[in-house]
Homo-oligomer: A and B are copies of this chain.
Amino acid sequence: METQAASTPRGKRTRDTIVDAAAGLMYVDGVAGTSVDKVLAASGAGKSQMYHYFKNKEQLVEAVIDRYLEQILGNQPAIFTLSSWADLETWTGQLLDIHRRAGKPVACPLGNLAGEVGDNPKLAPLVDRAYRTWESHLERGLKVLQANGELAPDADPARLAQAAMTSVQGGLLLAHIRHDLTALEDALDIALTYLRSHATS
């Protein structure tokens, strides 16, 4: 953890409140579009709290990235227990349900950040790491399928997982900007078909 930890329950609660407010605002307005003052106004905390728990705004963003990953994975629990082709369908179904529940295609918090963070030497690696963590659950599931003999022995789970992630991200980006979930539906469908093309016959 790069950021200052809270050492009492009260401090932990305050810190969480700040991160939550920042995560919500930065999701909508971006990092540069979200001032520290706005975060504190939204969280009800004072400036001294913020700078007690975070060295600067950048470290707050680091905490926000972690928060985003937690939120994302929490919305697709099936990714933790992938062990069959049916599980993969369940997983993509959960991805789509997020947007159906929201009433419209919503953006991926990490995807939003990825564009803005760009080549920031501190933050870009953290976004990269979050994506890799996300992807690693997919890769682990594919390895289980492979161990179960459902995925071809010569298939590369890491590479397949990366391919699936590109479909997810591309689908999310277009579905959101164009307010049309079919972009994500088709992308996931194509990805699943591609994965299945490496199934044992």
Contact = CB atoms under 8 A, between A and B. Distances in A.
Nearest to A107: B118
A115 interface: yes
Interface stretch (A70-78, A79-87, A93-101, A157-165): A157-165
Interface stretch (A4-12, A25-33, A142-150): A25-33
Contacts of A187: 163, 166-167, 170
Contacts of A114: 115, 173, 176-177
A116 interface: yes
B115 A115 contact: yes
A131 interface: yes
B174 A165 contact: yes
Nearest to A168: B170
B111 A116 contact: no
Interface residues of A, number: 44
A107 B119 CA distance: 9
Contacts of A165: 170, 174
Contacts of A169: 169-170, 173-174
A68 to B, nearest CB: 12
Contact of A183 (B113, B127, B162, B178): B162
Contacts of A166: 167, 170-171, 173-174, 183-184, 186-187
Nearest to A162: B183
